[in-house]
């Protein structure tokens, strides 16, 4: 294995030092559960191990199941507090789901990402138990997709369902670390579009993919639930140094998520939803060229000129400066509109022409 990047070595040394100091003061591991997904054959269970003061209980940071409740203390409403965390490295963890039990350890940033096989559970929502010595066990929601399901939705978050202008660093910092989550703006019609699509496919998976940090999962989950978005796993990323560089690539994260979903669910054709503020059209278009069997349609929310300026400094989409490419739009329809109401009208027509189960029109 190649030597880790210097930035990762420095970060690991810092985490080990912080770990030793906090444990010396009596801090103990605390488990955080994120929503996972899977099928009757496997489940991907996600979570994290942090260090916290004695007596603090575990949390369901990214609860997807509709009945699940999240803590709503005022100190969770300001995003900056979520980033003041101490990861617990290399902590033994046990994951139990159905009849299966898997032993693993938290990674260099405290994360748990484990595949559980032969759990014996049917399609639908399930709960995995994450436990570790000295920590309160937590329940992680897992959505299990039936083998007969052929439809699914992958959605970007920033500027697709939430208007955040995230790509601009200063605005991103303000929205993430300072601004109250109640002040964030919803993109009109997107929740309605997702609900209508899933009405025609009740067992279909709804997966949110973003380059945002896992620390923001509680805020994003509360926002999505409050504004009527369907429940589903959030696939976020870990900000900071990696084994290959100072920062991880957001584009590579999205590509990896798409290819992993396509490999894990080869029988599903996905509707890919994003915006034209940054790289979603190219990422989705390239994926459609590589895996046309896995893409049912692409839906792109078009930002307004002012949103484009906030996104990357100019009032037009970056696609205006990209050479024309063959997107095989005859095979993979591409729908574009300024909000969810416009997109769902176009998707009804596109999916009807492809023979997909028709999306019901609102009464």
pLDDT per residue over 205-229, tens digit each? 999 999 888 888 888 888 899 999 9
Q: CA 106 → CA 87, 244, 265, distances in Å?
A: 9, 20, 26
Structure tokens at 12: 């690991």
Which of 51, 5, 61 shows the shortest CA–CA distance to 236?
61
Question: Beta partners for 162?
Answer: 158, 186
Helix axes 250-264, 280-290, angle to 10 degrees: 30
* Pair of tokens at residue 347: 């998707």
DSSP for 53-88 reads: -TTPPPEEEE--STT------GGGSBGGGGG---B-
- Minimum mean pLDDT among 47-56, 132-141, 198-207, 309-318: which range? 309-318
Confidence of residue 28 (pLDDT cuts 50, 70, 90): confident
CATH architecture of the region 6-144? Sandwich (2.60)
Cα separations (Å) of 17 from 30, 265, 325? 18, 41, 50
* For residue 123, pLDDT beyond 50: yes
Query: Is this structure's pTM higher than 0.75?
Result: yes
User: By C-alpha distance, which of 119, 83, 81 is closest to 100?
Assistant: 119
Q: Which two tokens stand for residue 164?
A: 């955040």
Residue 253's pLDDT band (cuts 50, 70, 90): very high
Greater confidence (314 vs 93) lies with: 93
Domain range summary for the chain, segments of one domain joined by +: 6-144, 151-354
| Predicted pLDDT of residue 327 | 45
Q: How confident is residue 312, by pLDDT bands cut at 50, 70 and 90?
A: low
Residue 261 confidence (pLDDT) above 80: yes
Are the CB atoms for 43 and 97 separated by under 8 Å? yes
Report which of residues 174 and 273 the model is more confident about.
Answer: 273
Query: The CATH number of 151-354 is which of 3.40.50.1000, 2.60.40.10, 3.20.20.120, 3.40.50.720?
Result: 3.40.50.1000
Q: What is the pLDDT of residue 289?
A: 94
Dihedral of CA 242/246/251/252: which sign? negative
Beta carbons within 10 angstroms of residue 178's beta carbon: 11
Query: 53 versus 336: which is more confidently predicted?
Result: 336
Q: For residue 67, is pLDDT > 60?
A: no
State the distance between the two ends of the chain, measured CA to CA, in whole angstroms: 59
Beta bridge partners of 225: none
Pairing of strands 92-97, 100-105: antiparallel
Cβ atoms of 262 and 291 closer than 8 Å: yes
Mean pLDDT across the stretch 122-134?
A: 96
Query: In whole angstroms, how large is the CA radius of gyration of the chain?
Result: 20
Closest-CA residue to 173 (of 104, 83, 108, 252): 83
Answer yes or no: are the C-beta atoms of 340 and 280 closer than 8 Å. no
CA angle, corner 259, sides to 342 and 240, nearest 5? 90
Q: State whether residue 226 is helix, strand or coil.
A: helix
pLDDT exceeds 70 at position 249: no
Residue 362 CB-density burial (10 A; 0-12 exposed, 13-18 middle, 19+ buried): exposed
Q: d(Cα 250, Cα 207) in Å, to the nearest integer?
A: 17
- Tracing tokens 């959030």 back to the chain, one arrives at 234
């Amino acid at each position: 294995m190649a030597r880790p990047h210097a930035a990762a070595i420095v970060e690991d040394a810092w985490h080990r030092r912080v770990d030793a100091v906090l444990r010396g003061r009596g801090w103990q591991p605390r488990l955080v559960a994120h929503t996972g997904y899977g099928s009757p054959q496997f489940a991907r269970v996600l979570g994290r191990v942090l260090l916290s003061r004695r007596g603090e209980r575990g949390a369901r940071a990214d609860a997807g199941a509709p009945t699940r409740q999240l803590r709503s203390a005022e100190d969770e409403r300001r995003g900056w507090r979520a980033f003041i965390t101490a990861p617990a490295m290399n902590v033994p963890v046990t994951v139990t789901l159905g009849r299966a039990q898997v032993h693993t350890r938290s990674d260099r940033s405290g994360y748990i990402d484990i595949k559980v096989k032969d759990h014996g559970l049917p399609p639908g929502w399930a709960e995995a138990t994450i436990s570790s010595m000295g920590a309160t066990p937590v329940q992680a929601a897992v959505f299990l997709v039936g083998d007969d399901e052929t439809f699914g939705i992958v959605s970007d978050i920033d500027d697709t369902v939430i208007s955040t202008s995230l790509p601009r660093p200063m605005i991103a910092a303000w929205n993430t670390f300072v601004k109250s989550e109640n002040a964030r703006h919803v993109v009109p019609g997107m929740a309605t579009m997702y609900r209508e699509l899933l009405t025609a496919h009740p067992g279909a998976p709804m997966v949110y993919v973003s380059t945002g940090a896992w620390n923001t999962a509680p805020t994003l989950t509360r926002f999505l639930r409050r504004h009527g978005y369907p429940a589903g796993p959030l696939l976020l990323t870990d900000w900071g140094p990696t084994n290959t560089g100072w920062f991880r690539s957001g584009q590579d994260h999205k590509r990896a998520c798409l290819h992993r979903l396509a490999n894990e669910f080869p029988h599903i054709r996905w509707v890919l939803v994003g915006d034209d503020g940054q790289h979603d059209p190219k990422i989705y278009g390239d994926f459609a060229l590589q895996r046309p069997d896995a893409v049912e349609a692409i839906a792109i929310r078009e930002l307004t000129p002012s949103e484009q300026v906030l996104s990357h400094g100019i009032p037009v989409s970056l696609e205006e400066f990209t050479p024309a490419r063959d997107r095989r739009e005859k095979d993979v329809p591409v729908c574009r509109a300024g909000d969810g109401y416009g997109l769902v009208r176009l998707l009804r027509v596109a999916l009807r022409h492809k023979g997909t189960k028709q999306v019901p029109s609102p009464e």
